[in-house]
Structure 1
Amino acid sequence: MHFLFTSGRQAGRLLRRTPTTVAVACNQFGLSAASFSTSRAVAAKNQIYQSVRNLDQFHTYQLLSSSSRTPLLTLWTTSYCPTCRVVEPMVRELVETGVGEQEGGVGFCTVEYDAPDVMEAGLGLTYMINSIPTLLSFDAQEAQTQTKVTDGRQLANRKFLEEWYANSLVVAKLLLSGG
């Protein structure tokens, strides 16, 4: 057995605590309620998920997004789509660079529309996917069809993608805040 002998000052440096904040608020009856916090607020990070190949995966990502109160951006692609191979890296890079983290972050995934389980589940019919590639955002598990983009030329334009991304985040935050 080994013991570490330290002076009081050294022990104090070794056992530093993060400051505890106490907020006391009084309700209408004059009763106080204190909330304690010993950890720093963690900044939201954008999440990039694996490609969706079945219905369970899709619902899992929707639930993760909804529970963290962040929008879920989905890019609907197929294995034979040449435009998708151009658009997907651009959208992924936009999410990876941290755009939107100041507003609370986003989740991103590609949906492989031609995957057998996705086709069988009828996800394309459910969310009115009639063109590939399609960029569609979800807020609180609801498809935001008013911001859906289906034009491949627009999706291949980085400036357009950045503007769309910023606008969809504004819409998402309004919807998530109940506004």
Structure 2
Amino acid sequence: MIIRPSISISRSLTLQIPAARRTFLDQLSHTQKFYANVRTPEELHTLTLLSAAEDKPLITLWTAKWCSTCQAVAPLVRGLIEERVGINHGGLGYVEVEMDAATIGDLPITFRITSMPTLLAFSRQEAQLETKITRPEQLKDKEFLRNWLISEAKRGGRAGGAGGKSFGGLFG
């Protein structure tokens, strides 16, 4: 006999979720997401919306094609995420933001990107400016990056870092 969990929606209505469907949904919510490079403000906005809807932090690597440090850091960060770093805490989304794209507009100014490469996490569409990484020695340190990614994954879709602490414990 298979016991299926149920979700009570109201006193009179109970929704049965088939076991196979529940397993698939659980797996989907704990996957890493990789997106095509961002070249416009609209693309970044869409991805931050998507990650907020999935309650999953979006890791952005701000790069340029001509930046040799960026070319060394990008595969390291992507490799760690492909190794499923942070998967136990809900997973991560990852995208590279092409700062040398003609259509990027004022995104670097908006998010205070002053050097390349820069790693910046978004949680619930909020840039986590206090935890962004810009120092090359940290960006090339695999263990440091692993710990940073885990820390951002633990944050999940919860606020914190840039402005999420403003109300202290009042709202969660």
TM-score (norm 1): 0.78
Report percent identity of matched pairs. Answer: 36
Does residue 143 of structure 1 match 2:127? yes
Partner of 2:111: 127
Instruction: Please report how far the alpha carbon of residue 21 of structure 1 lies from its aligned counterpart in structure 2 after TM superposition.
Output: 2.0
Partner of 2:22: 40
3-state SS of 1:52 partner: coil
State the alpha-carbon separation in 2 of the partners of residues 54 and 24 from structure 1: 41
What letter matches 1:58 in structure 2? L
Partner of 2:138: 154
Distance 1:98 1:23, change over 3 A: same
Q: Say which structure, 1 or 2, has more relative contact order (CA 8 Å, 6+ apart).
A: 2
Aligned length: 156
Instruction: Please report how far the alpha carbon of residue 47 of structure 1 lies from its aligned counterpart in structure 2 after TM superposition.
Output: 0.5
3-state SS of 2:103 partner: helix
Tell which structure's C-alpha radius of gyration is larger. Answer: 1
State the alpha-carbon separation in 2 of the partners of residues 171 and 90 from structure 1: 21
> What is the RMSD computed on CA atoms of the aligned residues?
2.3
Partner of 2:6: 23
3-state SS of 1:111 partner: strand
Does residue 116 of structure 1 match 2:102? yes
Distance 1:24 1:40, change over 3 A: closer
Q: Pairwise mapping of residues 1-16 of structure 1 onto structure 2 (< 5 A)?
A: none
- List, as ranges, runs of 4+ consecutive aligned residues in structure 1 with deviation greater than 4 Å: 24-27
How far does the alpha carbon of each residue in 1:8-50 deviate from its partner, in whole angstroms, 9 at most, with x for none? xxxxxxxxxx9572537597xxx35412101223322100111
Distance 1:83 1:45, change over 3 A: same
Distance 1:57 1:34, change over 3 A: same
Contact 2:63 2:117 (8 Å CA) reproduced: yes
Contact 1:20 1:36 (8 Å CA) reproduced: no
Instruction: Please report how far the alpha carbon of residue 103 of structure 1 lies from its aligned counterpart in structure 2 after TM superposition.
Output: 1.3
State the alpha-carbon separation in 2 of the partners of residues 149 and 26 from structure 1: 43
Partner of 1:89: 75
